Amino acid sequence: METELVGVQKTLSPVLKAKALDNRLPDPILGDEYAEQVMRRLDPGYDKRRFGSSQLGLAAVVRARAHDDWARSFLADHLDAVVLHLGCGLDARVYRIDPSATVDWYDLDYPAVIELRQRFLPPREHYTLIGSSVTDPAWLERIPRGRPVLMIAEGLVPYLTEPDVRRLLTNVVGAFPAGQIQIDTVPVWAWRTSRWDPTLRRYGARFHCGFDNPAALAEWHPGLEYVDEAPMYDSPILMAKAPANIRRVYRLMNLLPGMKQSTRIVRFRF
Ligand SMILES: C[S@@+](CC[C@H](N)C(=O)[O-])C[C@H]1O[C@@H](n2cnc3c(N)ncnc32)[C@H](O)[C@@H]1O
């Protein structure tokens, strides 16, 4: 796979691996069987490293679980919703949530990623793949209007520039009568130092924006309202389900200033 995906597209792989390893815990956080199957096909030796220490990616699984929980509660109240799952990577959210047939779900990522999805994940009714950069406004023209929208962008926003994030959010708010927007962001320091981040360097990727107060993004559109934030590195579910050695590492990391909030998972509505 490493030869087919380039730059930021490769960042889907550590998140998928974290979800695959989570599924092998006796009491997983996400319990995503698709992640394990797809990861095995992508990289048959993905679990060669010591299982214990490789579970350090579990915080990313907590993030996925938070987005899933918010999405489920929105879809329970909006049976006619349209879902925009942006920068979907190889995430199996649509299969995990398994929305009713009254919901139309769109998974969007770069064409190379969508091509991999088509190879590794099954099609389903009321489910459409869009191979496009999220920054190309043309894809939004393909989405049916007049229905409530759920926009989920997990692990995507930091890879966009601030003007692109602003355009995306305001375009979505402007295009639908009501909706929920779920994103995660990094703080300004993480953006500024991302060029030295060893993982990002390995993939040839960088962050292009950061926000110290993501709730303030609601000011970008008069109809947008900040709702709340979900915990990640200090979340009760991580502390309850992660193996003891991993919990200890996260507890120590959380003592470092800024670390606990190095990713913020936030929800808006309009
Ligand atoms: C860290 S991965 C997260 C993948 C997935 N959301 C998950 O949580 O497993 C970031 C994803 O965003 C996608 N991405 C980054 N910039 C993008 C853009 N401009 N348009 C569409 N997708 C983009 C990448 O290709 C990659 O799949």
| pLDDT per residue as tens digits for the range 212-236 | 999 999 999 999 999 999 999 999 9
| pLDDT per residue as tens digits for the range 154-175 | 999 999 999 999 999 999 999 9
Q: According to the model, what pLDDT value does residue 34 have? A: 97
- Residue 97 has a CB neighbour count (10 Å cut-off) of 18
- What's the rounded mean pLDDT across residues 46-63? 83
Task: Please name the helix (run of DSSP H) or strand (run of DSSP E) that holds residue 58, with its range, or none.
Answer: helix 58-77
Task: Please tell me the distance between residue 52's alpha carbon and the centre of ligand 1 in angstroms.
Answer: 27
The residue contributing the CA closest to ligand 1 atom 9 is 91
3-state secondary structure of 266: strand
Q: Which of 267, 260, 82 is nearest to 177 (CA)?
A: 82
- What's the one-letter identity of residue 6? V
Side by side, the strands of the sheet bearing 149-153 are 127-131, 104-109, 82-86, 149-153, 179-185, 264-269, 225-230
Task: Please tell me the distance between residue 116's alpha carbon and the centre of ligand 1 in angstroms.
Answer: 13
The residue contributing the CA closest to ligand 1 atom 20 is 133
Q: For residue 53, what pLDDT band results from cuts at 50, 70 and 90?
A: low
Q: For residue 52, what pLDDT band results from cuts at 50, 70 and 90?
A: low
**Is domain 7-269 classified as CATH 1.20.1080.10?**
no
- What's the rounded mean pLDDT across residues 41-52? 82
Q: According to the model, what pLDDT value does residue 258 have? A: 86
Tell which atom from ligand 1 comes closest to the C-alpha of 90: 9
Q: Which of 180, 119, 184, 192 is nearest to 151 (CA)?
A: 180
User: Does the C-beta of 36 come closer than 6 Å to ligand 1?
Assistant: no
Q: For residue 39, what pLDDT band results from cuts at 50, 70 and 90?
A: very high
Mean pLDDT of the chain: 94
Does residue 3 carry a pLDDT above 60? no
Tell which atom from ligand 1 comes closest to the C-alpha of 91: 9
The residue contributing the CA closest to ligand 1 atom 8 is 154
Does residue 18 carry a pLDDT above 90? yes
Domain ranges of the chain: 7-269
Task: Please tell me the distance between residue 29's alpha carbon and the centre of ligand 1 in angstroms.
Answer: 22
User: Does the C-beta of 155 come closer than 6 Å to ligand 1?
Assistant: yes
| pLDDT per residue as tens digits for the range 136-155 | 999 999 999 999 999 999 99
User: Does the C-beta of 184 come closer than 6 Å to ligand 1?
Assistant: no
Tell which atom from ligand 1 comes closest to the C-alpha of 89: 27
Does residue 48 carry a pLDDT above 90? no
Tell which atom from ligand 1 comes closest to the C-alpha of 164: 19
